[in-house]
Chains A and B, each alone.
Chain A
């Protein structure tokens, strides 16, 4: 097993650092096992996995640094690896944005590892795929799905005494169910730290219901509509919310090339830019969506509000940019928590006079970074709502919308759920802009 326990990992890193003669040194040891099964046309197509562990050593002589790696762990290899990094550092140009290594840090504890997931076997994966296929085949539907699980560890140690270690597991599953004539399509997606919570049949059933009920879609005129965006429509495929969250970089805002840059200079930090019910934060300790507790320099990931009650509360600072601006740097490994409400998806539908339920958005791409305008299309289950009920399926449409504008047009917020390692609620949004029809099903 390529999962190296904490003490063993730190012992390897300690030895590596002892071989260095540089002013500063840092070593990262990381790796794991991952496995997957993929199926389509109601049969398994590919399945496999990989084992890999790597060591990266970075050293500094003054402001010059070098990196080297190896994946064998005998003393001779480790010594050679450190020497190589030192040789590169001596030849490198000085880094004007050099920052000294961090000293010892305190890290939060995240419930990011589950033994149930680490113990997954090829038979477990084949069973999940088989269950999903059997459910669809029995209904004369066609399943295409993917299950991937992984067990990882990451360890860091540096010459200033910093020590970090974390193990994590994940199971990601998605399934698209289509009618055999291609006139209906439905989708379900979920991810877990603990494979014990995974239910392939329930997720497949959800996609199958959407597939069957999306047959016979009617075209409606593109334009501005009230939409209910399910979490998959908000964060799958690098979605609207991910793009907004990743756009909070302080340096870009200070440099005038961000939607957070202010006319005349400066940033919009502290301004109310969104509906007051919108709050998004970083919290690696969240029980449902645990995250990384340190970044790749060992900087702690702390609880931090990004958007608080509609206000742009904090931007991300690299260590260099934070020092230059006399503020704290931000540890961030990519996952976030968006605050939800108490209503279920069904409640949101019930309270909608006229609107559109969107299962998934697809091929989302930036159009204008000035306004965060993005485009993309609905997919795998788009329905017209009238008087609180799903009336009929509708044809897919292209949208052109900015998450900044969208989060000013909030009608209601549902219960948050985990997706893509984040917590995200379904949102009801008014005046969402659809610009053309698509024939895709």
Chain B
């Protein structure tokens, strides 16, 4: 039996956000005051040692412990009312062990020394059962213990400490702006996530981390009852590794879209009210915008859109677990195999430089240490269009002849096992000065796309199709107006090799998601993708209008 609870989310970005998959919704509701209670590092160390000792006594050659306290608050509103305010807390311990060369894992919410020791013993039993069918023993890249260390997201104002009324008022004010600008409906939400994670391992690390994330978002819908037509536009915000300061708009963080559009992009702060009003106007214009003529177009993709394309066509294919076949049954494998890399084929044009990191300040993926106790870092994935490296963790490094993890191991909660997850994967901005207007001036027949929409890619990351939030026709170097029913289909290598120009650093900003899904049982991870507006030549565009 699969029981599916709809937790007051109906109507919010239906089809785009898949909110029921949001991992933190598996937590339980909790009083706001509880969210501010400090996580007790001394108690955690005692529990961690109890688990590690029990694991060693059960024969573990390696063990790690993650004691997690996952605090979240979500606010949901529609039009002029609050739908739901949910504060959740999920607390427990996950113990991972290697016994006889095989992994075992068990998690429990019972946080006594006896219970965590029992969890370690159960994990060891599971490892022993698996060792009988294990082909090769697990090999971990060496990792020196860090002793007792800590890391905290450098936030200015903890969103969980902001009074609920202030947050509700902000959402309702944005809703009013959208309704005043012609929206029929608006569903808005504010997600606040605080992962308090205590990691300890038999390597001698005791790592205390306090990770914060925030995401304001909405979907504006305009309905024309006479024609029966409706159109939506979602927020151009991004989930960020920031505090409530993200919701205090600053002029220097606003990046105006090209002439002929009313698009505004946002960098390290977000103007929720402004974007809600713009969304209503753009959604209304969609109702009467001409339908695209299918064919080949030069695409000019803004960072709030391109981030998702980078995620799917670069981030995922370069995850080493996929490349090696660990995800063959679910998320899939990758065209970018070790053999493919050896052939030296170009991944993209010479302009394409892609970097992986879990450090970028303000990014939703930034942490100090990963979930197997490795300090995070930055490294190149694609240099001048050529694939140079993958994303890997401790038990994979030896397979590609490396002696270190990239520090990108993550688990969505204490009760799920950690595994390789995508770090931030970003397109470096162009080295030459280039504005979006300059870029568009050179386009004869094209489409400018702002915001991420529908997305789909095959299990080896060749063939993809992307929609967007708003689409503008470009004719002879000028934006001529909004169009509709646009989706582009391409092949990863063809697409990145058609990359013809990248705007400079002044246009650079982050796209992010809370919902990067992988693994069985499926886990969500938060990740960011930075880029500047980029041009791709001769991409196949289809028309998505249908009659039912």
Contact = CB atoms under 8 A, between A and B. Distances in A.
B135 A93 contact: no
A388 to B, nearest CB: 29
Interface centre among B86, B106, B324 (most CB of A within 10 A): B106
A196 interface: no
Interface string A23-55: 000000000000111111111111111111110
Given A40-B328, A71-B109, A257 B185 contact: yes
B3 A292 contact: yes
Nearest to B86: A67
Contacts of A87: 31
B520 A43 contact: no
Nearest to A396: B458
A44 B1 contact: no
A171 B339 CA distance: 37
B544 A175 contact: no
A49 B28 contact: no
Interface string B391-407: 00000000000000000
Contact of A88 (B31, B106, B109, B126): B31
B427 to A, nearest CB: 22
A406 B541 CA distance: 23
Given A398-B489, A400-B544, A257 B230 contact: yes
Interface in A125-174: 125-126, 129-130, 133, 142, 144-146, 148, 152, 154, 168-170, 174
Contact of A69 (B29, B455, B548): B29
B103 interface: yes
B81 interface: yes
Given A47-B126, A56-B29, A363-B456, A436 B3 contact: no
Contacts, number: 300
A400 B542 contact: yes
Contact of A363 (B94, B129, B132, B459): B459
A126 B92 contact: no
A373 interface: yes
B465 interface: yes
A87 B85 CA distance: 15
Contacts of B544: 367-368, 373, 400
B280 interface: no
A145 B126 CA distance: 17
Interface string B484-497: 01010101000000
B184 A130 contact: no
Nearest to B133: A130
Contacts of B332: 362, 379, 440
Nearest to B395: A45
Contacts of A441: 460
Interface centre among B106, B459, B485 (most CB of A within 10 A): B459
Contact of A68 (B2, B29, B546): B29
Nearest to A266: B225
B61 interface: no
Contacts of B431: none
Interface centre among B15, B103, B324 (most CB of A within 10 A): B15
A92 B85 contact: yes
Interface stretch (A226-234, A247-255, A424-432): A247-255
Contacts of B547: 371
A363 B331 CA distance: 9
Contact of A126 (B106, B133, B330, B455): B133
Contact of B134 (A43, A84, A292): A43
Given A363-B458, A371-B548, A400-B542, A69 B109 contact: no
A376 interface: yes
A364 B14 CA distance: 14
A55 to B, nearest CB: 8
The interface size bin for chain B is: 35 or more
A264 B129 contact: no
Contacts of B329: 40, 144-146, 174-176, 187
Nearest to A360: B459
B530 interface: no
Given A369-B15, A439-B491, A440-B332, A261 B3 contact: no
B24 interface: no
Given A174-B329, A178-B325, A363-B459, A373 B28 contact: no
A402 to B, nearest CB: 6
B2 A420 contact: yes
B105 A440 contact: no
Interface string A52-75: 111010000000001111010000
A366 interface: yes
28 contacts: A37-B130, A43-B135, A46-B105, A46-B417, A47-B103, A47-B129, A52-B92, A67-B87, A68-B30, A92-B85, A144-B327, A168-B3, A185-B328, A255-B185, A256-B225, A257-B221, A261-B230, A263-B225, A263-B226, A264-B225, A296-B5, A366-B15, A367-B544, A371-B545, A373-B546, A398-B465, A420-B2, A439-B463
Given A54-B28, A363-B458, A368-B546, 14 more contacts: A47-B127, A50-B107, A52-B92, A69-B30, A146-B330, A256-B223, A261-B230, A318-B10, A333-B5, A366-B15, A398-B456, A435-B465, A435-B489, A440-B460
Interface of B: 1-5, 10-11, 14-16, 18, 28-34, 81-83, 85-89, 92, 94, 96, 102-110, 122-123, 125-127, 129-130, 132-136, 168, 184-185, 221, 223, 225-232, 324-330, 332-333, 335, 337, 415, 417, 419, 454-463, 465, 467, 485, 487, 489, 491, 520-521, 540, 542, 544-548
Sorted nearest first, the 6 A-B pairs with minimum C-beta distance are A334-B4, A48-B105, A263-B228, A366-B15, A144-B328, A438-B463
Interface of A: 35-54, 56, 66-69, 71, 84-85, 87-88, 92-93, 95-97, 110, 112, 122-123, 125-126, 129-130, 133, 142, 144-146, 148, 152, 154, 168-170, 174-176, 178, 182, 185, 187, 193, 238, 249, 251-252, 255-257, 259, 261-265, 290-292, 295-296, 318, 333-335, 362-373, 375-377, 379, 396, 398, 400, 402, 404-405, 420-421, 435-441
